[in-house]
Structure 1
Amino acid sequence: MNDRWLWTFPVVGAFLIAIALVLQNHRWNEEERMVRTTGSVVALMGRGCPLVEFFPRPGERITFTGEVCSRPGYAEGDTVELFYDPLEPQHAHIDSFLQNWFISLILGAIGLFFTLIGLALLIPEALVDSRRKRLKRKGQAVQAQFVEIRRNPFSTFNNVPAWQLVCQWCNPSTGEVHLFYSEDLWFDPQPFIGNEFLQVMVDPNDPRRYSVDTSFLPRLAD
């Protein structure tokens, strides 16, 4: 799977979280210059959107609709706390947790979800890459006999399981046979397998730590 494509998830997630923070910071700064007062719910619009009435000055009646609609929610006759701009009284909003935080929390939650998905995909890739580089420096190169190409049911993308190369090597010092599995491949490598043996970098102290060399395979297009 292309690493650059995987970065889309945390980038989009960070962007949504940033928007949520900007919106919430704007709301806080806005309220610093606004006036707090009370109003009354005079009607419910659509799916429970409260129509609020208040009087910023004697004889001046202002109505506005709440930003978040919900059922159950407000009822006609309810008294609500609100903020309004003294220079533009029609610019007002209800002072409640739902009205103040709903949009920011939704954007932030979606952003966090995308970020976690991205990290869940990128961290294993990073660990595999780190192990590969470490074994390239300190590992022992062995020639393992190619056995088969298998599908990995535990690693899927769009419900399509990844491919893996399977090979085996008999450790001459112990007489034990070790099975090695390549990293996940997102295209069918069968047409590109021309060798009976594959190079595997093995940790001399622990053969369970290894990296199957797949550099001879073509790269998947972006």
Structure 2
Amino acid sequence: MVGKVMIIVGGIFAPVGVILLVVCAALTINTVQFRASAVSTTGTVVDVRPRLNCSDGSCTTTYRPVVAYRTPDGAKIIFTSDSGTNSRPQVGSRVTVLFAENDPGHARLDSFTEFWLAPLITGLLGIVFTGIGAVLIITRLRRRSRDAWLDTHGTRISAEIVRVEQNRSVRINGVHPWRVIADWVDPASGGHATFTSGDLRHNPSDRITGRRTIEVLIDPADPGRRYRMLLESVGVIG
């Protein structure tokens, strides 16, 4: 069950992450190109536009400055900054403005927030989403590869069922999944191994009541790490 969830979640997170990285790249390229060709001048804050932002019952106010500046030919341009701050800008304060030479109305404040905040956020989110998605998918594919190897080359043994328990470290749709714990002692070496099944959606107790053992496929070279409990042999499906 968890394996399917890993593939589904990974299949969602990875593409979303890639899209965010593409957006980050596009924003970065646009910013670099704009800054390389923009004309710098000094503008004046002539007004402030507050914006109320509410989330989870709490509200904060951000302030976007309205800035006026003049182009080299004397034309007066007024624009509102795309980014806001928690502190109210002082009307009359001087700020640095960058504007497109062939389109003076396309102007932005020369600040980190104005130019780099959006690429930074989308880039970080893209890395996180892509990383989580890739880890989930790779982990699941490795498990599939391990299970395929065990199906072909593994040694079948019988392990003693110890208990059925809920995996308290995992919650899926608000419910802790179930798992089977079994022990085995290698009759040749006396070595001990504990096997834990994959997470199960339903309590398997009714399927294994009265059974003392469960079959497990192991890699004799590393039975403690490379194994697969054959729950399907007793009618338990994840």
TM bin, normalised by shorter chain, reads 0.7 to 0.9
Partner of 1:117: 132
CA separation of 1:188 and 1:120: change in aligned 2, threshold 3 A: farther
Deviations 1:99-134 (A, max 9, x none): 001122222222233234334544443443343234
- The total of aligned residue pairs comes to 220
Which range moved further: 22-31 or 126-135? 126-135
Q: Structure 1 residue 15 and structure 2 residue 19: aligned? A: yes
Distance (Å, rounded) in 2 between the aligned partners of 1:176 and 1:208? 10
Matches within 5 A, 1:31-46: 31-46=35-50
Q: Is 135-144 or 193-202 further displaced after alignment?
A: 193-202
Cα shift at 1:204: 1.6
Q: Which one is further off, 108-117 or 11-20?
A: 108-117
Distance in 1, Cα, partners of 2:208 & 2:122: 47
Post-superposition Cα deviations, 1:58-116, rounded to whole Å, max 9, x if no partner, equal 44110111111002264223322222123321111112111001122222222233234
Superposition deviation, residue 33 in structure 1? 3.6
The aligned residue for residue 220 of structure 2 is 204
Identity of aligned residues (%): 28
Give the superposed CA RMSD. Answer: 2.8
Which stretch shows the higher mean deviation, 159-168 or 170-179? 170-179
The one of 92, 107, 111 equivalent to 2:122 is 107
- Name structure 2 gaps, 5 residues minimum: 51-61
CA deviation profile, 1:166-210 (whole Å, cap 9, x unmatched): 233343224555431112234444566599443311222333132
Give the distance between the partners of 2:130 and 2:74, measured in 1 at CA. 51
In structure 2, the partner of 1:79 is 94
Is contact 1:68-1:102 (8 Å) kept? no
Give secondary structure in 1 for the equivalent of 2:176: strand
Aligned to 1:56: 71
SS of residue matched to 2:105: coil
Distance 2:11 2:206 in 1: 30
- TM-score when scaled to structure 1? 0.82
Q: Contact conserved, 2:200 with 2:237, CA < 8 A, in 1? A: no
Q: Greater CA deviation, 182-191 or 146-155?
A: 182-191
Paired letter, 2:121: I
Gaps of 5+ in 1: none
For 1:85 and 1:163, the matched residues in 2 are separated by 62
Moved over 6 A (4+): none
- State how far apart, in whole Å, the 2-side matches of 1:85 and 1:178 are: 70
What is the deviation of 1:19? 1.0
Q: Deviations over 1:6-54 (max 9, x none)?
A: 3211221221121121122122223344322221222221122111111
Counterpart in 2 of 1:6? 10
Distance in 2 between the 1:93 and 1:146 partners? Answer: 68
- Compute the TM-score of the two structures, normalised by the length of structure 2: 0.77
153-162 or 19-28: which moved more?
153-162
